[in-house]
Amino acid sequence: MESPAVVARGLTKWFGDGETRTFAVREASFEANYGELLYLVGPSGSGKTTLLSMISGILTPSSGNVTLEGKDIWKMSSTDLADFRLHKLGFVFQDFHLFPRLTTAENVAIPLILQRMPWDKAIDVAEKFLEIVGLPNKGALPPIKLSGGEQQRVAIARAIAPHPDILILDEPTASLDGDTGRRIVEFVKQEILTPTSCIIIVTHDSRIFEYADAIMTMEDGRVTGIKRTGTE
Ligand code: ADP
Ligand code: MG
């Protein structure tokens, strides 16, 4: 537990080549500590999603490295990385990636089942987390029967149900009304954040700023600052 939960060093991502090369993220270096809820803020297009995709093992960096729980994830084999992601990471991306042919509860249960929790127990846990995000009695429905905001809450339930060590939420309250967003972030901070876990949230939502332990800013692909608030 000596090293920080997340360490990024010189992380850079460009798209295209030659004349058309554009940098989405340039030389991003930062650390996120255990027990910390870190907010990432910055204008649209500043590279937040690209940065978090590299941190989550989804998008290969052009250069730089990412160390999670002391392991350089981009040096792992793809099977080891997939296994690491399954057991250690939770994330919600801006498009929710729900499986259309599964029920809402099955969607939430998937990571638990992949972690070898028995099916019935996983569905019970899924139903509990659907209730926590304010969707009781929706477990049997397919995602298509839910509104955008409800689908976002299903994606949040799926990410938090396994109590991941590293939880990454990309604009998780964008489609939610203020009260719901606040309640969910409050729950995540109280129940999911522990001294051995770490949460990174991208948000523009000033209504939930009070829960931050640290705020990191990005502009034009660069990390421009990180301020630790020291609040619990
Ligand atoms: P944010 O999440 O802060 O809005 P993004 O990380 O989505 O920003 O995007 C940062 C920049 O990288 C933008 O200019 C975007 O157009 C560009 N970008 C992101 N993904 C791609 C891609 N797959 N191909 C080309 N450009 C991309
Ligand atoms: Mg984004």
Output the DSSP codes for 77-129: -HHHHHHHHHHHEEEE-SS----TTS-HHHHHHHHHHHTT--HHHHHHHHHHH
Q: Which among 68, 42, 55 is positioned nearest to 11, based on CA atoms?
A: 55
Q: Strands of 63-68's sheet, edge to edge?
A: 22-32, 6-15, 63-68, 71-72
Q: Quote the ligand 2 centre to 95 CA distance (angstroms).
A: 10
The answer on pLDDT for 231 being more than 80 is: no
Radius of gyration of the chain (CA): 17
Q: pLDDT confidence of 2, banded at 50, 70, 90?
A: low
> How confident is the model over 130-140, as pLDDT tens digits?
999 999 999 99
- Residue 29 pLDDT: 98
The answer on pLDDT for 229 being more than 50 is: yes
Ligand 1 atom nearest the C-alpha of 15 is: 25
For ligand 1, atom 16: residue with the closest CA: 45
The answer on pLDDT for 65 being more than 90 is: yes
What average pLDDT score do residues 175-204 get? 91
> How confident is the model over 71-106, as pLDDT tens digits?
999 999 999 999 999 999 999 988 889 999 999 999
Would you say the CB of residue 53 lies under 6 angstroms from ligand 1? no
Percent with pLDDT over 70 in the chain: 98
CA 93 to CA 152: how far, in whole Å?
9
- Residue 232 pLDDT: 47
For ligand 1, atom 21: residue with the closest CA: 15
Would you say the CB of residue 15 lies under 6 angstroms from ligand 1? yes
Ligand 1 atom nearest the C-alpha of 22 is: 26
- Long-range contact pairs involving 204-211 (C-beta distance under 8 Å, separation at least 24): 204/41, 204/171, 204/174, 205/173, 205/174, 205/181, 207/173, 207/178, 207/181, 207/182, 208/173, 208/181, 208/182, 209/39, 211/37, 211/185, 211/186
Q: pLDDT confidence of 177, banded at 50, 70, 90?
A: confident
For ligand 1, atom 26: residue with the closest CA: 15
Q: Which ligand is nearest to the CA of 94?
A: 2
What average pLDDT score do residues 15-28 get? 94
CA 38 to CA 59: how far, in whole Å?
21
What average pLDDT score do residues 198-212 get? 88
DSSP secondary structure letter of residue 75: G
The answer on pLDDT for 178 being more than 70 is: yes
> How confident is the model over 131-172, as pLDDT tens digits?
999 999 999 999 999 999 999 999 999 999 999 999 999 998
Under DSSP, is residue 9 helix (H, G, I), strand (E, B) or coil? strand
For ligand 1, atom 23: residue with the closest CA: 15
Q: Let me know if 217 is exposed, middle or buried by CB neighbors in 10 A (0-12, 13-18, 19+).
A: middle
Would you say the CB of residue 48 lies under 6 angstroms from ligand 1? yes
Would you say the CB of residue 44 lies under 6 angstroms from ligand 1? yes
pTM (2 d.p.): 0.93
Supply 106's token pair.
């099955």
Output the CA–CA distances (angstroms, integers) from residue 156 to 120, 189, 196, in the order listed.
21, 13, 20
Would you say the CB of residue 181 lies under 6 angstroms from ligand 1? no
Count of other CB atoms within 10 angstroms of residue 100: 8
